[in-house]
Structure 1
Amino acid sequence: MANSILLIEDDVAIAEMVRDHLKKDGLTVRHAPDGEAALRLFAEDSYDLILLDLMLPGVDGMEVLRRVRSTSTVPVLILSAKDSDVEKALGLGFGADDYLAKPFSLIELSARVKAILRRATHYASTPAANVESPILHIHELTLYPEEHLVTKQGQPLNLTAKELLILKLLMSHPKRAFSKEQIYRSVWNDAYYDDVNAIQVHISRLREKIEDDPANPRYIKTVWGIGYKMGDF
């Protein structure tokens, strides 16, 4: 059965180009030209991936993403001409899985789409391990892998899936520094696209949620010239 994609894009020319290209890859694509139509189609059917433009008439892309994330964990790939760090922070912080700036090549789009679908299929088909993952504890932070929960001083933190996986990686190896490429390969489980902004945005958002003073982080330390590691307590 072909994977089903919801394409949310108000530019008809771009939508037709993307739809025709993805159909050649054997994917089923439904198109929504605005936010209201997107939410209606999303409520009517289930999808394996959402391609979402941010600049939509009426209900904008960020509101669409917020509503989708309130009920679903379907992968979301943002497609937008807004290529600033602010927009990336908003999009990724709201729970998008990846970001591709316009103009983009159809070859790269296909690679990103296939990678996301491959990861989603892998996670859905992989049976849970018989041995429970150990609870991780560093200073005031506790990560419960089985429950996908992180607490600070016993209070739950609202982390996205990617933020939790990044934190889990660092907490599992507290003395090791990870490069951005290593973090990407581990968390995204795919080839590194040299998009350092994606890692920086996730780290920044994660620091805002777990640090007392994000400008002077204690938990996630920057290791200059390398990447990031857990702080020593």
Structure 2
Amino acid sequence: MFDEQRGPESQAQAAYLTLERKIIMLEIEPGAVFSESAIIEFAGVGRTPAREAVQRLSLEGLVEIRPRAGVRITEIRADDFLNVLEVRKSLEPRLALLSTRFATPSQRRRVSECQETMSAAALSGDVPSFLEADKAFDAAMGAACPNPYLAATLRPLQSHSRRFWYRFFADTELQVSTDMHDRVMAAFIGADAELAARAMTALIEGMLERAIALRTA
């Protein structure tokens, strides 16, 4: 619960990460409406950091703040998944190229750790660990990118994609998704920027194919 030893910023970050994980893992159901007191309980922090976390989630489109009515978790719609992936297809190969080109040795080591964790998660069927590794990989690429605006634009879209993927594909696509991510991570670790961009394009296009099939099913 609330940790008075943490500073306000770290409390808000902790609350954000906790709420984001619960939303992505569908522990908090899409469409549900919660009071401020319930959100505080979910987040495990005080009122102010919980409010800051909710504001951030609202800006990212994962929740809607309804004055005097509480906080509503946004719905999951197949068309929204397509819209998210269209933007990612346009921007994320560029992020992969720049991040791979400018990454530091420590950032490449971090992605190597993500690669190992993701592979182990696929073998054991551990979806939460897969998603944690995916988020850590996205964070490492964002940190390595010399264009902070590009990384900031993609960050919430990556979160939405994880929620969509968990809802529709976690039961059937864990190994396939791991294989597609592995190609991007291998290129990143090997400092092959052009290959990283191509692998990222293939990853997003693969997700788009699945999203289109989902909408037309």
Interval of TM-score (by shorter of Structure 1 and Structure 2): under 0.3
TM-score calculated relative to the size of structure 1: 0.26
Higher relative contact order (CA 8 A, sep 6+): 2
Q: Which has the higher helix share?
A: 2
TM-score calculated relative to the size of structure 2: 0.28
Q: Which has the higher strand share?
A: 1
User: Between Structure 1 and Structure 2, whose CA radius of gyration is higher?
Assistant: 1
